[in-house]
Amino acid sequence: MNLTGRTAVVTGGASGIGYAVAARFAADGAAVAIWDLDLHKATEAAERLRQDGCSASAYGVDIADRSQVDRARDATNDDLGVPTILVANAGKEYFGSFLRTSQEQWDEMLRINLTGTFHCCQSLVPGMIEQGWGRIVTISSSAAQGGREWMTAYVASKAGVIGLTQSLARELGPKGITANTIPPEFIDTPMLRQAEADGLLGESIAMHEADTPVRRVGRPEDIAGACAYLVSEEAGYVTGQIIGVNGGRRG
Ligand code: NAP
């Protein structure tokens, strides 16, 4: 895909899926803004991309804090130009039985995963409207397609992300902006490895692989490839969609 001349924001772009998306967009010619909680990690990630001859900058931002999001947007505008591509990927997981989920844990999931996605979209959409062109891809979760025990707060937040994305597609379509969501299942990232190490997957990743139609765990690059298509010029008629990248597993 040719993204030359485009500026893209990837939230959570210092790790896992987000880093693979940032690397793919940068290789395809975009100027990439890596927004992540930890500025040091984001700076290292951007530096790796620049060493490959790509254009990338790092910003420390908590997506749940609107003032930080708006500051990162302004800095990105100044450094790289107005972003017309957003991959709203940053997120956190929470495992725990429904009855033991405290309101604080519930609120934290909604605040980061859902409200954080809202802030990023609302902060960047005016720039996209001005340019008459935009691409939004949110990263939800296959768990939100079928529900998942021990993950009610996480799943509720990600189901909200799906509804937000589909509604944005309808509202922003007339402005030249598409919005789609990818609900990943079982992608080999630090988040998945942590869940395995904490004994939260029920069984090992290797055992889950045997249950997956394509017989392997997903790679962050699998999600990046789908994102590259969704933000391309060619995908202008694809909006409001839930694009499963899950090796044939779902929910
Ligand atoms: P990851 O390796 O943990 O990467 C997530 C990145 O987002 C981390 O760098 C994290 O920073 C950052 N982040 C977390 N909260 C943030 C905040 N408030 N503001 C800014 N950045 C924040 O996880 P991943 O597996 O790549 O997950 C990426 C997305 O895919 C998440 O939304 C996740 O829910 C979704 N997903 C993943 C899978 C999977 O199998 N891996 C499946 C379904 C959905 P810290 O490390 O400092 O927290």
What is the residue extent of each domain of the chain?
A: 7-187+219-235
Q: Is 182 in the pocket of ligand 1 (CB under 6 A)?
A: no
Ligand 1 touching residue 19 (CB < 6 A): no
Q: Which pLDDT score is estimated for 251?
A: 58
44 Cβ contact partners less than 8 Å away, ≥ 6 residues apart: 14
Residues 6+ apart with CB under 8 A from 236: 178
149 Cβ below 6 A of ligand 1: no
Specify the pLDDT at position 150.
Answer: 95
Tokens of 69: 């999001």
Task: Specify the pLDDT at position 203.
Answer: 78
Please indicate whether residue 138, judged by its CB atom, sits closer than 6 Å to ligand 1.
Answer: no
Output the pTM of the full model: 0.98
Active site residue 154: yes
Of ligand 1's listed atoms, the one at least distance from the Cα of 90 is 7
**247: CA distance to ligand 1 center in Å?**
20
How close is the Cα of 91 to the center of ligand 1, in Å? 4
For CA atoms 205, 114, 161, 175, give the dihedral sign.
negative
For residue 142, the 8-state DSSP code is T
Strands (E), 37-192: 55-60, 85-88, 134-139, 177-182
* CATH number for the domain formed by residue range(s) 7-187+219-235: 3.40.50.720
94 in Cβ contact with 154 (< 8 Å): yes
> What is the Å distance from ligand 1's center to 174 Cα?
31
In this predicted structure, what is the pLDDT of residue 249?
86
Amino acid 131: pLDDT: 98
Which conformational region is residue 247 in: left (phi greater than 0), alpha (psi within -120 to 50 degrees), or beta?
Answer: left
Give the pLDDT of residue 226: 98
CA–CA distance, 108 with 155 (Å, rounded to integer): 13
Residue 10 tokens, joined? 């990837």
Residue 155 φ/ψ, nearest 5 degrees: -65, -40
User: How far is the centre of ligand 1, averaged over its atoms, from the C-alpha of 229 (Å)?
Assistant: 21
- Non-local (6+) Cβ contacts of 224 within 8 A are 17, 20, 21, 23, 24, 25
Q: Whose CA is nearest to atom 34 of ligand 1?
A: 91
How many other C-beta atoms can be found within 10 angstroms of the C-beta atom of residue 102? 10
How would you write the pLDDT of the chain (251 residues) with one tens digit per residue? 899 999 999 999 999 999 999 999 999 999 999 999 999 999 999 999 999 999 999 999 999 999 999 999 999 999 999 999 999 999 999 999 999 999 999 999 999 999 999 999 999 999 999 999 999 999 999 999 999 999 999 999 999 999 999 999 999 999 999 999 999 999 999 999 999 899 888 878 888 899 899 999 999 999 999 999 999 999 999 999 999 999 998 75
Please state, rounded to an integer, the average pLDDT across all residues of the chain. Answer: 96
